[in-house]
Structure 1
Amino acid sequence: MFLGSMNTAILAVALPRLQFGLAASDSQVQWVVDGYQVLAGSMLLTAGALGDRYGHRRVYLTGLAVFGLAATGCAAAGSPAALIAFRAVQGAGGAVLTPGTLALIVRHVPDPAARSRAVGIWTSAMGVGIVAGPLGGGLLVEEFGWRAVFVLSALIALIALPLTASTVGADRPPARHRPPDVVGQALAALTLAGLIEAIIVLPNSLGVAGLAAAAAVVLGVAFVLVEQRRPYPAVDLALVSRSGFAVPLLLAGTLFLALNGFTYYNALYLQRVHGFSPAMTGAWMLFTAIPLLVIAAVSGWCYLRFGPRRTVTTGCLLLAGGLLLLAFTLDASSWAPRIAAYVLVGTGVGLANGSITSAGLRDVPAHCGGVAAGMLATARMAGGALSIAVIGSIVVARLAAELTRWLGAHPVGPGAEEALWQSARSGVVFSTAPAGAGAAMAVGFQQGLAVALGCCAGALALMALLTARQLPERARSEPRRDGEGP
């Protein structure tokens, strides 16, 4: 669990060095992140079913081995295309980490008190990964380069494999009544990939974006038609149609759209605009990570004490307020308001994230709990993947507009102009470009990020209004039983 959460947090501080080291374009860097998210998100839909069919221990060990081997491939990648391919394979392996570890705890720790302690350790490991990722990743990148973050992931997987094999016993005979929905899973992945590609290429090629969007629509329609006819679909469309589950599903996607966009592009902003080192960037991100860890620890109590409606609404509004404050203070001379914004973001996510899951599972029939949990995790992954594409397209479009404006007022030779565009695309710190051009790039990046953060804040405010109207006021005092009404 530590490995899975750290993998997301640690990459954010490595992106500028990675982009510069591989001479990758902005769209390629976006796919380094989204290649993992798309595969992990789509395969989460059937990770639980694979465990039920073949045994959770076997599926978990296989996924962990794939994750570790792919991380090794990422560390050795010599081109952006190779890195994107290995990241996609890593996502396929990573899809089983979160549901697989929890399934192993549930199956092999039957005593309720011991299981509660185990789940507490499991949850803490996730929080520690979120906190340690930015700071540890920054130190690693600064000392050893961007490849070190993937070497670390491979080493942790290498340690976890024999420990799991030697300490976790074989599963009971697995249930083979629920085959995995391979076709539905593939259509879900291709639909999401087409949508993301359309958003990424939109600033540069309207025609390609239109083709990708059209393909995504066709694949999406095919996905719905296929899922309606499957006896064991990857996505239970009847479950999605229930407002008590559909609203938390939408909330989960929107929350991670905002969080992932903030995490990755704030790290890029600190390094490319302000010239922070990876270690310093990781240290600043602790102003978000630590409040997130602390508030997440008490969010369950808040959910039970104040109810789903108040807890989730408050969390969404705090996150929206933090993003909006940051959008208006990116160019401020004082760092105090930005620190306040980081704290608000961490507090809002820590309060809302777990409560959204609890609210989503509140009225779900017991036999649908695993499928519903997988769908919520998929919504988070999909929202995170879309955020990289959406925010990246806004930032890239604004940066290109500012650089084009500057070049119009300050003509340079063809070779110098191409060098400037390469600097804008390569991940270098903007201050290393010629003074005027570097300042224009920094302004464009900053303005684009401010617009994107404002859009995320607006989306979260709408979600808060929806939450205030649709989520129940009180938490359930007892678990839901099959056949019981909402």
Structure 2
Amino acid sequence: MPELSHGRRVLVLAICCTSLLIVSLDNTVLNVALPALQREFDASTSQLQWTVDAYTLVLASLLMLAGSTADRIGRRRVFTTGLVVFTLGSVLCSLAPDLSWLVVFRMVQAVGGSMLNPVAMSIITNTFTDPRERARAIGVWGAVVGISMAAGPLVGGVLVESVGWRSIFWINLPVGLAALLLTRRHVPESRAPEPRRVDPVGQLLVMTLFGSLTYAIIEAPHASLPAVAPFVALALAALLALLYYEPRRREPLIDLRFFRSAPFSGATVTAVSAFAALGGFLFLSTLYLQNVRGLSALEAGLWMLPMAVPTFLCAPLSGRLVGSRGPRLPLLVAGGAMTASGLLFALFEAETSDVTLFLGYVLFGVGFGFVNAPITNTAVSGMPTAQAGVASAVASTSRQLGQALGVAVVGAVLAAGVGASPHADAFVPAARPAWWILAGCGLAVLLVGAVTSGPWATRTARRTAARLAAPEPHRAPAPR
């Protein structure tokens, strides 16, 4: 791809960030609408979990396929297709006659969303070739998550209160269409010089692993062990089959050699942990603010600002720090702040006081604001440009899988704790184990970030990049 002018690169970054905005905004807006959905459809906790996880699971399952497909047939082509499908899915969600159809249409949205964020990150990686410029661009990218957190609850609260929950999906229509027109006009086409083959077996195994594992977690509080056990066994079988099958393909869906790089493996674990914390945090907070405190959707949205604003402010700062000093400091700050937030709720029931609730939200927002840039930068830095799409897709998959698992685990713990007790009375004690889990996620970010960001880790990344750039003659030919 020819070198673009600075102004053109900035425009490409803005277009790519727009795709992240509508996908992230959709999640934060939906969280505010969960109590409205619960009232209208008399939904259980597990049904609310599926309205979130149906989207994130499909997204996680297809991200790597979308990344490799974009590398093969063209990143702009896949990106524009994703915008069309995502926008269409949003319209269908607004027309859903019941909760089951809403879950189905959320899955349609996710098919489009899978073609957006990892492909957009691949476009950014290929557009910003200078490491410092790339780190700053990724910092801006991360700040968009903060914008969605700040705008999502407020926009969602206003729309749910004034028009109804269906209107939260309408906002994707004008934004999606504008992004589509700008993409076709200003984003140059790019693709990998050596296209990768499709891996249908690997794709099926990934979908089986993610889907069966999440189903088992969500349904565990309500179903008997014989009903859940087969799905746990299926997830384990799919994982073992992936570990056996993928290394034997010449062009696998998941190149397990990536994980020989300690920073890349660390970025994957960090992404799962951080976004599990985010998914659980939003799920708990939304239900608590509206169902326990009795706040309106708009008031609950305003209460989310102490988390959203620090995320927005810290993300670009994190990007600059990654560009100038590396990922270690942002990861340590992120892990420390997220751990402190979880402990504040787990040990001191922070939600029962306005002051501690505010402080807990601020700490989580600071931590999450610092975590995104080092994850993304570490995942794609050092990887061959030809595999940028796949590498960024693995990082994006880790994020979505983490968020799905966070909602599944926290929702399951909450459902088991609430039981037959009145929801408002039982919520705070039932949520305490969930807050311990979120504190553990923050601690994982802290420890893994410390271990995988030093000189030893950098050496493993260099060795891995050299192996990826060289052919591996011992591999069997790819199955056709």
TM bracket (short chain): 0.7 to 0.9
- Check conservation: 1:303, 1:475, Cα contact below 8 A: no
Report whether the alignment pairs 1:197 with 2:215: yes
Q: Work out whether 1:342 is the aligned partner of 2:325.
A: no
Residues of 1 paired with 2:130 and 2:405: CA distance?
40
Partner of 2:7: none
Question: What is aligned with 1:311?
Answer: 330
Cα distance change, pair 56–459 in 1 and its aligned pair in 2 (3 A): closer
Work out the CA distance in 2 between the residues paired with 1:52 and 1:363. Answer: 17
User: What is the CA distance between 1:466 and its match in structure 2?
Assistant: 3.8
Q: Does the 8 A contact of 1:307 with 1:472 survive in 2?
A: no
- The 5-angstrom pairing of residues 18-33 of structure 1 reads 18-33=37-52
* Contact preservation (8 Å) 2:135, 2:373: no
1:29-178 matches, cutoff 5 A: 29-104=48-123, 122=141, 124-168=143-187, 171=189, 175=193, 177-178=195-196
User: Does the residue aligned with 1:148 lie in a helix, a strand or coil?
Assistant: helix
Of 463, 472, 477, 2:454 maps to 472
Letter in 2 for 1:267: T
2:170 aligned with 1:187: no
Matched, 1:399 2:381: no
Q: Secondary structure at the match of 1:178?
A: coil
In the alignment, is the contact (CA less than 8 A) between 1:135 and 1:283 conserved in 2? yes
| In 2, Cα distance between equivalents of 1:81 and 1:332 | 32
Where in structure 2 are the equivalents of 1:429-440 lying within 5 Å? 440=422
Does the alignment pair 1:13 with 2:32?
yes
1:299-347 Cα deviation digits (max 9, x unpaired)? 1333356543343123111101012212344476530111011000011
Structure 1's unaligned 5+ residue stretches are 404-439
Aligned to 1:248: 267
Q: Please tell me whether the aligned partners of residues 315 and 349 of structure 1 are also in contact (alpha carbons under 8 angstroms).
A: yes
Q: Which moved more, 1:440-449 or 1:329-338?
A: 329-338
Gap change, CA 1:332 and 1:231, over 3 Å in 2: closer
Structure 2 equivalent of residue 279 of structure 1: 298
**Deviation, structure 1 residue 141:** 0.9
Of residues 253, 260, 270, the one that matches 1:234 is 253
In structure 2, what residue type is equivalent to 1:334?
A: S
Work out the CA distance in 2 between the residues paired with 1:400 and 1:123. Answer: 38
Cα distance change of structure 1 residues 308 and 121 upon mapping to structure 2, 3 Å threshold: closer
Cα gap change, 1:84 to 1:134, in 2 (>3 Å): same
Specify the alignment match of 2:466 in structure 1: 483
Alpha carbons 2:22, 2:172 under 8 Å: kept: yes
Instruction: Tell me the CA shift for residue 64 of structure 1.
Output: 1.0
Q: After alignment, is 115-124 or 358-367 more displaced? A: 115-124
Contact kept? 2:273, 2:444, Cα under 8 Å:
no
| C-alpha distance in structure 2 between counterparts of 1:256 and 1:180, whole Å | 28
Cα drift, residue 172 of structure 1: 5.7
Distance 1:115 1:321 in 2: 30
Structure 1 residues 22-79: Cα deviation after superposition (integer angstroms, max 9, x where no partner): 2333222111111111111121112222112222222111111111111111111112
Please tell me whether the aligned partners of residues 68 and 90 of structure 1 are also in contact (alpha carbons under 8 angstroms): yes
- Shift of the 26–374 alpha-carbon distance from structure 1 to 2, 3 Å rule, reads same
Amino acid at match of 2:253: A
CA contact (8 A) 2:274 2:445 kept: no
Q: Which residue number in structure 2 is paired with residue 381 of structure 1?
A: 400
* 1:116 positional shift: 9.0
Moved more, 329-338 or 91-100: 329-338
Tell me the distance in 2 between the aligned counterparts of 1:99 and 1:25: 33
Who is 1:219 aligned against?
Answer: 238
Q: Residue 208 in 1 paired to residue 222 in 2?
A: no
Q: Given the superposition, is the C-alpha separation of residues 52 and 472 from structure 1 closer, same or farther in structure 2, using an over 3 Å criterion? A: same
Give 1:320's aligned amino acid: T
Q: Which residue of 1 aligns with 2:432?
A: 450
Query: What are the superposed Cα offsets for residues 269-323 of structure 1, whole Å, 9 maximum, x if unpaired?
Result: 1011111111111111110010011111111333356543343123111101012
Amino acid at match of 2:449: T
Q: Please report how far the alpha carbon of residue 452 of structure 1 lies from its aligned counterpart in structure 2 after TM superposition.
A: 0.3
Answer whether contact 1:395 1:447 (CA < 8 A) is retained.
Answer: no
The residue type equivalent to 1:162 in the other structure is L
Q: Distance in 2 between matches of 1:192 and 1:259?
A: 18
Q: What is the alpha-carbon distance in structure 2 between the residues aligned to residue 390 and residue 474 of structure 1? A: 34
Letter of the 1:382 partner, please give it. L
Letter in 2 for 1:200: I
DSSP 3-state at the match of 1:227 = helix
> Can you give the 5+ residue segments of structure 2 that lack an aligned partner in the other structure?
1-19, 469-480
**Deviation of the 1:103 alpha carbon:** 4.0
Report what 2:5 is aligned to. none
Q: Is this contact kept in 1: 2:89–2:106, CA < 8 A? A: yes
**Contact conserved, 1:201 with 1:208, CA < 8 A, in 2?**
no
- Structure of larger gyration radius: 1
Deviates more, 1:95-104 or 1:10-19: 95-104
Tell me if the contact between 2:139 and 2:320 (Cα under 8 Å) persists in the aligned partners. Answer: no
Instruction: Report the alpha carbon displacement of residue 465 of structure 1 after superposing the two structures with TM.
Output: 3.0
Distance 2:54 2:372 in 1: 23
Q: TM (normalized to structure 1)?
A: 0.83
Q: Percent identity?
A: 35
- The CA distance in 2 between the partners of 1:275 and 1:298, in whole Å, is 36
Structure 1 stretch displaced more, 275-284 or 304-313: 304-313
Q: Read off the aligned partner of 1:87 and give its amino acid letter.
A: R
Give CA-to-partner distance per residue, 1:336-394, whole Å, 9 cap, x none.
Answer: 11101100001111122212333444554555443222211111111110011100001
Q: Does 1:460 align with 2:478?
A: no
What amino acid sits opposite 1:391 in the alignment? V
Alignment partners' CA distance in 1, 2:395 and 2:127:
24
Question: Do the aligned partners of residues 356 and 474 (structure 1) sit closer, same or farther apart at CA in structure 2, a change above 3 Å counting?
Answer: farther
Query: TM-score, with normalisation over the residues of structure 2?
Result: 0.84
What residue is the counterpart of 1:410 in the other structure? Answer: none
